[in-house]
């Protein structure tokens, strides 16, 4: 592999997340939308959401606005966000999201000396503008597996993963009912999170009797669509010591992408997917000096439920083919062996494209997660598996 573990290890634990802020996902979801339209300024647009999350994160961090000298924004132009917030910065960028990418870029910028303190701002207005991820609005979008095949009626990112689950079912005998454990468990966790969008109880019977979107996925296998923002503030770990909260250290980062067969689904499917996941997790575990046994809290980017078992297999938490067995019997619940997506994830808490998971990792490692706190949370691992390949970040609780 091309990464240099010696230099990566030197970067481990040198940057800390010291502030987190998010918006009122549940309250916003239940508020009538009125006449909001795409591109039309409103009182609760992506800027307003970003401002709210930023002020909360800044207050949480104990830092002053003037301390922020790096800015990474997803969902709005960073210069406009900087204007609204009155920020001066040495390093700024617009960045594709998915949680990992923002944290990795900010960590790299701080470690390389470009800046000391980065605000990562993720903001997204989706539900209020009628966002949808399949069908006519994505026809002729170009070369991605969920865009290229409209003449055959194939569309939507989720349908790609239905076909990976279909492989799993036919190869290993796993069942829809087993997969239902993901949605049911994440809902259970969301019920312990007052800020989550979806908090009504969900049973396995509700799941199996629910309608299919694309067989073999039921509606509960898909994430929700809502509006919101997330802000994370990262700084040098040596500076974090003077701040109010226990720092949460960026211990490991990993990414593996392969363009090979990208429009032919490649790593969305089992075998190539496992290889990508393995390569990404090897890098992150190597950088952090940790292995699957050391992880006390795990979160997956859960655009779709099947990410969880597939990622657990690829990352080596269980054998390939055993992911659907692994997630049963409370193992991924709070109090279980490997609590997963404890805030409810994107299936039930909020669809912040992986950014809400970073906030939850921080709250868990600070031991601030209240009734959903994982006892003895020392490390937290996040996995994203999407069009960038596989990527991951490992956090550990600092002193």
259 near another protein, judged by CB under 8 A? yes
What is the rounded CA–CA span in Å between residue 23 and residue 228?
6
Q: Which is nearer to another protein, 263 or 373 (CB)?
A: 263
CA distances to 15, 94, 155, 262, 263 from 144, rounded to whole Å, are: 34, 22, 10, 7, 5
**Which region among 53-61, 167-175, 198-206, 304-312 touches another protein (by CB under 8 A)?**
167-175
Distance between CA atoms of 301 and 280, rounded to whole angstroms?
14
164 part of the interface to another protein, by CB under 8 A: yes
Q: Give the one residue of 25, 91, 147, 306 binding another protein; rule: CB under 8 A.
A: 147
Q: Which is nearer to another protein, 289 or 321 (CB)?
A: 321
Q: Which of 393, 297, 289, 376 is nearest to 343 (CA)?
A: 297
Contacts for 140-144 with beta carbons within 8 Å, 24 or more apart? 143/262, 143/263, 144/262, 144/263, 144/387
Q: What is the DSSP letter of 67?
A: G
Nearest to 157 by CA among 394, 359, 387: 387
Three-class secondary structure of residue 393 per DSSP: strand
* Binding of residue 246 to another protein (CB under 8 A): no
Q: How far is the CB of 349 from another protein (least distance, A)?
A: 23
Told to check if 269 binds another protein by CB under 8 A, we report yes
Minimum Å gap between C-beta 313 and another protein is 17
ω into residue 129 within 30 of 0, thus cis?
no
Binding mask 102-141 for another protein (x = CB under 8 A): --------------------------------xxx--xxx
Q: Closest Cα to residue 240, out of 383, 398, 365?
A: 398
Q: Which is nearer to another protein, 160 or 392 (CB)?
A: 160
Is the CB of residue 19 less than 8 Å from the CB of residue 366? no
Name which position in 42, 111, 167, 373 contacts another protein (CB under 8 A).
167
Only segment of 11-19, 112-120, 148-156, 298-306 that touches another protein (CB under 8 A): 148-156
156 lies in the binding site for another protein (CB under 8 A): yes
142, 201, 335, 376: which one contacts another protein (CB under 8 A)? 142
List contacts with another protein (CB under 8 A): 134-136, 139-143, 147-156, 159, 162-164, 166-167, 170-171, 211-216, 259-261, 263-265, 269
């Amino acid at each position: 592999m091309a990464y240099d573990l010696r230099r990566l290890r030197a970067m481990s634990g040198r940057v800390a997340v010291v502030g987190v802020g998010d918006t009122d996902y549940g309250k916003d979801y239940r508020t009538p939308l009125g006449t909001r339209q795409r591109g039309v300024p409103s009182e609760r647009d992506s800027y307003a959401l970003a401002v709210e999350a930023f002020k909360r994160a800044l207050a949480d961090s104990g830092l002053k606005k003037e301390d922020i000298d790096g800015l990474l924004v997803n969902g709005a132009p960073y210069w406009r966000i900087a204007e609204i917030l009155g920020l001066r910065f040495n390093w700024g960028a617009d960045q594709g999201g998915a949680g990992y990418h923002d944290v990795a870029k900010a960590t790299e910028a701080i470690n390389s000396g470009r800046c000391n303190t980065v605000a990562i701002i993720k903001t997204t207005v989706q539900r209020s503008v009628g966002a949808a991820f399949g069908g006519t609005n994505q026809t002729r979008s170009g070369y991605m597996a969920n865009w290229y095949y409209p003449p055959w009626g194939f569309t939507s990112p989720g349908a790609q993963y239905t076909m990976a689950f279909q492989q799993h079912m036919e190869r290993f005998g796993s069942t829809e009912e087993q997969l239902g454990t993901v949605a049911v468990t994440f809902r259970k966790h969301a019920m312990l999170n007052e800020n989550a969008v979806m908090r009504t109880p969900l049973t396995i019977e509700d799941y199996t009797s629910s309608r299919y979107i694309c067989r073999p996925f039921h509606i509960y296998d898909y994430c929700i669509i809502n509006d919101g923002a997330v802000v994370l503030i990262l700084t040098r770990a040596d500076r974090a010591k003077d701040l109010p909260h226990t720092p949460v250290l960026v211990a490991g980062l990993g990414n593996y992408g392969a363009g090979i067969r990208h429009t032919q689904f490649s790593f969305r499917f089992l075998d190539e997917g496992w290889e990508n996941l393995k390569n990404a997790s090897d890098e992150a575990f190597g950088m952090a000096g940790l292995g699957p046994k050391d992880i006390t809290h795990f979160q997956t980017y859960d655009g779709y439920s099947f990410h969880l078992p597939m990622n657990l297999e690829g990352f080596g938490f269980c054998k390939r083919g055993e992911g659907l067995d692994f997630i049963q019997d409370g193992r991924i619940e709070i109090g279980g062996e490997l609590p997963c997506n404890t805030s409810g994830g994107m299936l039930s808490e909020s669809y912040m494209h992986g950014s809400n998971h970073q906030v939850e990792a921080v709250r868990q490692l600070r031991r601030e997660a209240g009734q959903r706190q994982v006892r003895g949370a020392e490390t937290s691992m996040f996995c994203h598996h999407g069009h960038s390949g596989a990527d991951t970040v490992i956090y550990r609780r600092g002193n």
